[in-house]
Every structure is written in structure tokens, then in C-alpha cells.
């Protein structure tokens, strides 16, 4: 059975890139161009995985992540953080200390990334 992957990013070209890669590897892509839209689509679609950009206007990836993990219906969906900010920033640690009471994201990738890096991380997290 195909797995659904929700990509949340404010850059249209990045969303197109993710959607093409996901389709090429037999995943069902769902895209959202903001944290707010991402939360709505997560509730509607119940994806198997969420790819989440950190730096977005209106609702940052950090706030989006915290809302996902506070929502009873969404809290168990694994999240991979994808950001242009260096891996030296320890998002997993920051999000672990959040008020969610949950373990941080299941993965972290730094932009720009190669298609094979994305698929490898997705398969590591959800098979």
C-alpha cells in the first residue's frame, strides 16, 4: 500500500521537487505552503509522514511541529525537519524540550538536498 507523505514548505519550487521525488518512489505526495495549511491537510489526510520546513512566514515550522504533537489525532505522525539552517542547530534537542512532552522529530535534513538523501531518510523513518 502506498504511503502518504505531507510536505510543508513555503517555497513552491521545493514543494514541486518533493512531489516529483515522492511520486517517482511510489509515495503519495501531499503539499502545503504554510504551517497553517499543513495542519489542516494533516487533519484531513492523516499522512504516514510529514516533511517540515522550519523557516516559514505566518506559522514557523517550530510552532507547527508543537501543534502537531499536541493534537491527539496527529501526535504520532513521524516528522522529518528539512531546513536550510545548518545541522549545528540542534532542532531535535530544542523540540524535545518543548511543552509537547514528546520525543523530537524522527529525522533532520539540510537544504539543498539530493533526491536520494530524501528517499533514504523517508525509508529509514517509515520503511
Tell me the residue range of the domain where 39 lies: 4-126
- Does residue 1 surpass a pLDDT of 90? no
Q: Where are the beta strands (DSSP E) in 26-73?
A: 28-32, 49-53
What does pTM read for this prediction? 0.88
Q: How far, in Å, CA of 101 to CA of 80, rounded?
A: 18
Domain count, the chain: 1
Q: What is the CATH number of the domain that holds 73?
A: 3.40.50.2300
Summarised one tens digit per residue, pLDDT across range 77-94 is 999 998 887 654 555 555
Amino acid at each position: 500500500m502506498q504511503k502518504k507523505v505531507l510536505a510543508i514548505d513555503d517555497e513552491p519550487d521545493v514543494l514541486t521537487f518533493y512531489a516529483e521525488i515522492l511520486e517517482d518512489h511510489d509515495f503519495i505526495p501531499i503539499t502545503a505552503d504554510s504551517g497553517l495549511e499543513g495542519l489542516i491537510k494533516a487533519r484531513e489526510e492523516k499522512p504516514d509522514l510529514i516533511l517540515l520546513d522550519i523557516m516559514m512566514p505566518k506559522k514557523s515550522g517550530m510552532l507547527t511541529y508543537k501543534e502537531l504533537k499536541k493534537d491527539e489525532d496527529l501526535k504520532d505522525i513521524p516528522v522529518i525537519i528539512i531546513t536550510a539552517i545548518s545541522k549545528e542547530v540542534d532542532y531535535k534537542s530544542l523540540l524535545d524540550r518543548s511543552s509537547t512532552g514528546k520525543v523530537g522529530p524522527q529525522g533532520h535534513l539540510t537544504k539543498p538536498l539530493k533526491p536520494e538523501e530524501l528517499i533514504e531518510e523517508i525509508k529509514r523513518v517509515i520503511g
